[in-house]
Chains A and B, each alone.
Chain A
Amino acid sequence: MNILIIEDDPETGSYLQRGLREAGWDPLLCTTAQEGILAVSGRDFDAVILDRMLPGMDGVDALRLIRGAGVATPVLMLTARTAIQDRVEGLEAGADDYLLKPFAMSELLARLKIIARRPTRPVEATEVQVGPLHLDRVKRTAHRGETLLDLSPLEFRLLDFMMQHAGQVVTRTILLEQVWGYRFDPKTSLVQTHMSRLRTKVDKPFETELIRTVRGSGYVLATD
């Protein structure tokens, strides 16, 4: 995947470049908003990482220019923790997601994957099949092979989300945001508790483990 990074801080810039390269992606780093706008309008990127604070031009203004020019490339905005209110502005200006600095590389990669693929995702299918897992959104039933899984509504939503992003690492924060709709970080192991209940039902009686823990990052649903 081609990723454009617009970030003026050299340390964050090289951290991002290194992280993306290690993930097997192809990053391009621009250090000013002008450079970045030129790059994004000249080439087709899979996603853009845009810093909120850029010298000379505000990240939100740069984003408005990019969107104004008709460029629909997904944008992940990086904002400082001191300005939580900024994210509303960012999302309104057309950002697809935002991430507070400082962030973990795993979190960034997971989010990038989600937004980079978002446009290609088919419109809400009524049934989803991933490996042996089958989900019927109308009847609200889930099967693994022939076995009917007895899931709570919350576990159903959790499994649904995992199946939509099968093969991708989803972090705890992403799950909190997308499945529960919470933007805050609970002290307790809210996600782990529900995930372990789900795994008890989905994996325990079977031989192969479909939902795996990615150490330090989150979870991934195996596609095979």
Chain B
Amino acid sequence: MSSLQTNILGSTVFQQIVRSSAMFVLVSLILLWAICGAVVWRIDRAQTAGLEAEMAYGQEVYYGRGVEALVEEEIRDGEDLIWEDDLIYEMLDAGTYIWVLRDADYDVIAGFDGLHGEDGFSTQRLDHPDISDPVLVHRAVLRGGDSLNIGVFVDPARENTLGFAMFGTLALLLIVLPLSLITGFAVSKRVYRRIEDISATTAAVGAGEMEMRAPQSARHDEFDRLAGGINTMLDEVARLNSNIEAVSVGVAHDLRTPLSNIGGRLELIRRDKDDAAAVEEHVEAAEAAQGQLMRVFDALLRLGEVKAGSRRAAFAEFDLSDSIGGLCEAYGPLFDDADKTFRANIAPGLRVIGDRELIEQAVSNLLENALEHSRDAARVTVALHPAPEGIALVVADDGPGISPVDRDRIFDRFFRADASRSTAGNGLGLSLVHAIAELHGAEIRLSPDARGAELTLVFKG
């Protein structure tokens, strides 16, 4: 037996099929025999009851009017007291009763000599040259050792029913059961093949062949859905992988500059150790670089924390208008100093449930982006107002805006529109804003047709 066959026989599908066919056959057998048994029982009951009635009548005549009357009325066949063998054929066809009355010496007084029996009911065969059909016999002993036997041919329906039950049993065991096993094997083999294709793919991916995908047929059945699901998952994993690679490269790049700054300054400190003023300057520059490192680090940690959702425990209701107002008050002068116009339009008394600190951080990131990335002498506006879906916060500038190619990626970690990374920033700001919005179930969108960058955060009410 090949290993494929062994695997199929051991497969869950095949075992289930074996179990359910065995169950089906068993239940069918029980039903078959219960129905046939009931039919046979009814036939037996009817024949027994008939015999009892005949016997009661026979005894009534015998005791009431004597042997002769009984013989005369019930047993005599025309002229003959003793029945001929030929007469029995009629009985067999008509299903009527066979009688025999014997004396104490077991000699026949009248009736059919070939009918024997035991006390009460028994099934016998006639003493007859041709007829061997079974006969149900009722025997009773009468006065002075006389005995009366009444018999009737067993209803052929009884035999037919039992024959049918036997045939049914054989058919179920010899045809249905093997057939279902063969079908089961065939079905299992197909299922096994499809599953095997899929698991070969996952094994290959597990072994590092990331580009492998599960085969899909045109049938769109459940296996195709499974394969499709796995392929989608693998695509997502691949995308995340490349994202992680991009993030690693980004981290490495963003950390290298300040780290080499610190290294360089340490070297300069060694060189200039006798010049206190120079050392002070190097220390300050090193500290600034260290601060830059820490900010990247903090932003990453906070992003992880927000993404993990652990901050949700600190949610409370607070006055968003008050909070955004404070931020605008804090950032307004910075726009002045940068020769940019800043206008805030904040509807009072709007409250939300959330983490005030995180929301303030998100909005401050948006304001800093507007401050850094808008054109010279730009006009920056912040608006907070009730919207149909909740509360809308809009931070907008009037240029230069975000280029269409970058729109989909601005929320990715370490994504920076400036590919040379020559401007300040670490590319984490907007991804943190995005994560914070997600944590609060708020929607963040970039207005597609604004002149500059216009980001809207909608807190669902």
Q: Which residues of chain B come closer than 8 Å to A194, judged between CB atoms?
A: 330, 333
A186 touches B305 (CB 8 A): no
Q: Which of A44-52, A79-87, A112-120 contacts its partner?
A: A79-87
The minimal Cβ–Cβ distance linking B177 to chain A, given in whole angstroms, is 64
CB of A139 within 8 Å of the partner chain: no
The minimal Cβ–Cβ distance linking A83 to chain B, given in whole angstroms, is 9
A185 touches B360 (CB 8 A): no
Q: Which of A7-15, A35-43, A176-184 contacts its partner?
A: A176-184
A153 is contacted by which of B291, B329, B331, B371 (Cβ under 8 Å)?
B329
Which residues in window 154-188 of A have CB below 8 A to B? Answer: 154, 180-188
CB of A23 within 8 Å of the partner chain: no
CB of B297 within 8 Å of the partner chain: yes
A188 touches B368 (CB 8 A): yes
**Max count, chain B CB within 10 A of own CB: residue among A84, A188, A189, A194:** A188
Q: Which residues of chain A come closer than 8 Å to B298, judged between CB atoms?
A: 81, 184-185
B364 touches A186 (CB 8 A): yes
CB of A193 within 8 Å of the partner chain: yes
A81 is contacted by which of B301, B333, B360, B371 (Cβ under 8 Å)?
B301
CB of A121 within 8 Å of the partner chain: no
CB of B175 within 8 Å of the partner chain: no
Known contacts A154-B330, A184-B364: does B337 contact A193 (CB below 8 Å)? Answer: yes
User: Mask for A95-136, Cβ within 8 A of B = 1, else 0?
Assistant: 000000010100000000000000000000000000000000
CB of B287 within 8 Å of the partner chain: yes
Q: Which residues of chain A come closer than 8 Å to B364, judged between CB atoms?
A: 182, 184, 186
CB of A216 within 8 Å of the partner chain: yes
CB of A88 within 8 Å of the partner chain: yes
B425 is contacted by which of A182, A187, A190 (Cβ under 8 Å)?
A187
Q: Which residues of chain B come closer than 8 Å to A154, judged between CB atoms?
A: 329-330
Q: Which residues of chain B come closer than 8 Å to A153, judged between CB atoms?
A: 329
Q: Which residues of chain A come closer than 8 Å to B407, judged between CB atoms?
A: none
**Max count, chain A CB within 10 A of own CB: residue among B297, B333, B372:** B333
Q: Which residue of B lies closest to A190 (CB)?
A: B330
B330 touches A84 (CB 8 A): no
Interface residue SS majority, chain A = loop
CB of B283 within 8 Å of the partner chain: yes
A197 touches B333 (CB 8 A): yes
Q: Which residue of A lies closest to B297 (CB)?
A: A81
Q: Which residues of chain B come closer than 8 Å to A193, judged between CB atoms?
A: 333-334, 337
A182–B326 alpha-carbon span in the complex (Å): 10
Number of A-B contacts (CB under 8 A): 64
Q: Which residues of chain A come closer than 8 Å to B360, judged between CB atoms?
A: 182, 184
B425 touches A216 (CB 8 A): no
A154–B429 alpha-carbon span in the complex (Å): 26
The minimal Cβ–Cβ distance linking A142 to chain B, given in whole angstroms, is 18
Q: Which residue of B lies closest to A176 (CB)?
A: B330
B280 touches A215 (CB 8 A): yes
B326 touches A185 (CB 8 A): no
A215–B333 alpha-carbon span in the complex (Å): 23
Q: Which residue of A lies closest to B362 (CB)?
A: A184
The minimal Cβ–Cβ distance linking B254 to chain A, given in whole angstroms, is 13
A88 is contacted by which of B283, B295, B314, B337 (Cβ under 8 Å)?
B314
Which residues in window 283-312 of B have CB below 8 A to A? Answer: 283-284, 287, 291, 294-295, 297-298, 301-302, 305, 310-311
Q: Which residues of chain A come closer than 8 Å to B291, judged between CB atoms?
A: 185
Q: Which residue of A lies closest to B364 (CB)?
A: A186
A194–B326 alpha-carbon span in the complex (Å): 13
A188 touches B334 (CB 8 A): yes
Q: Taking A184-B302, A185-B291, A185-B295 as given, write out 20 further A-B residue pairs in contact, using a Cβ cutoff of 8 Å, ordered by the A residue number.
A: A81-B294, A81-B297, A81-B298, A82-B301, A84-B302, A153-B329, A154-B329, A154-B330, A181-B326, A182-B360, A183-B357, A184-B361, A187-B295, A188-B334, A188-B368, A188-B371, A190-B330, A194-B333, A197-B333, A215-B284
Q: Could you jot down 22 A-B contacts, CB within 8 Å? A: A81-B294, A81-B301, A85-B305, A85-B311, A104-B287, A182-B357, A182-B364, A184-B361, A184-B364, A187-B368, A187-B372, A187-B424, A187-B429, A188-B331, A188-B334, A188-B368, A188-B371, A190-B330, A190-B331, A193-B333, A216-B283, A216-B284
Shortest 4 CB-CB contacts between residues of A and residues of B: A184-B361, A216-B284, A193-B334, A193-B333
